Amino acid sequence: MRRGLPSRLGALALISTALVVGLAATPAAALPSTGAGAAASSAASAVSTGWSPPAARGYVALGDSFTAGQGAPPYRSDDCKQSRYTSYPTVAALFSLYRLTENRACSGATVAATGAQLVGVSPDTKLVTLTVGGIDAGSNEVLGACALNPDPNAEPCKSALALSAAKLAALGPQLVGLYTTIAATLPNAKVVVMNYPRLFNPGVTPLGDLVNQSSDALNAVIAGAVAATANPRVALVDVTQEFAGHGIGARLPYISFDPANVLASANFHPNALGNAFGYARALANDRVLSR
């Protein structure tokens, strides 16, 4: 991954801090109008200055809870748990030539469910980003089974890890099929596959280290599947560097976790900071948003 934000994007990163803090606390009624009045005002401004903005490129987000923004409530609805203001697709689209036409990502989405999200997507779409594979790999089962005793040689953690390993072995070809289908369905789109961050800072808990190892194994399968498509329009963006040092247990975590409510739906997902400075920043660092 090519690193180092351009100065313009560095400045925009500072703006996104205000977005993270401000938009989440701003009532919908107070947000800028996007109706006919606002459009007319923008048009009048463009005429008066003789400048017109470049045409926006259609952007669609697909996949699971990490793209939906489950770790950054409030949500648009309770079913898919899409963040109303600070999912990474929303933040990324604010600072690019891409216009987010749809975020179809949904909590709990599998590879098969992500394929179904393609129905009705415009063939003129220019960018697709997605996260998927965690559910198929048994991540939830590992987290639940190993929570009380993270010893990989003790039950039920041992069985959950064995099952996850078996699912991972079958996951690669499924992901290759999905990425290939997306590229074929949207022939004008760059298909950007995002992987998963390590959820815990190293050494915080034995469970955290075990979950991080599972994330590493899943990311290796995702990277292999992207390479196996052999399609230049299908690319991997690795987010692990952006999240390094910001897992659960860090002084400034990018992962949501409420120890007073371990069943909170936002837990173990990127929070608003993780969406902005983890996922969206990774897209910027890899120059996806400037293409």
Catalytic residues: 65, 269
Containing H/E element for 10? helix 7-22
The whole-angstrom separation of Cα 226 and Cα 191 is 10
Characterize the bridge pairing of strands 57-63 and 98-103: parallel
- Three-state DSSP state, 274: helix
Query: Do 193 and 237 form a contact (C-beta atoms < 8 A)?
Result: yes
Q: What is the DSSP letter of 103?
A: E
Q: Which tokens is 229 given?
A: 């498509």
- Amino acid identity, position 174: Q
Phi, psi dihedrals of residue 169, rounded to the nearest 5°: -60, -30
Q: Which residues pair with 61 in a beta bridge?
A: 103, 129
Residue 235 CB-half CA count within 13 A: 15
Q: Which residues contact 119 (CB under 8 A, 6 or more apart)?
A: none
- Amino acid identity, position 215: S
Phi, psi dihedrals of residue 56, rounded to the nearest 5°: -75, 145
Q: Which residues pair with 60 in a beta bridge?
A: 102, 128
Residue 230, Cα to own-chain centre: how many angstroms? 23
Query: Do 29 and 35 form a contact (C-beta atoms < 8 A)?
Result: no
Q: Which tokens is 164 given?
A: 């996850």
Q: Which tokens is 97 given?
A: 């030539």
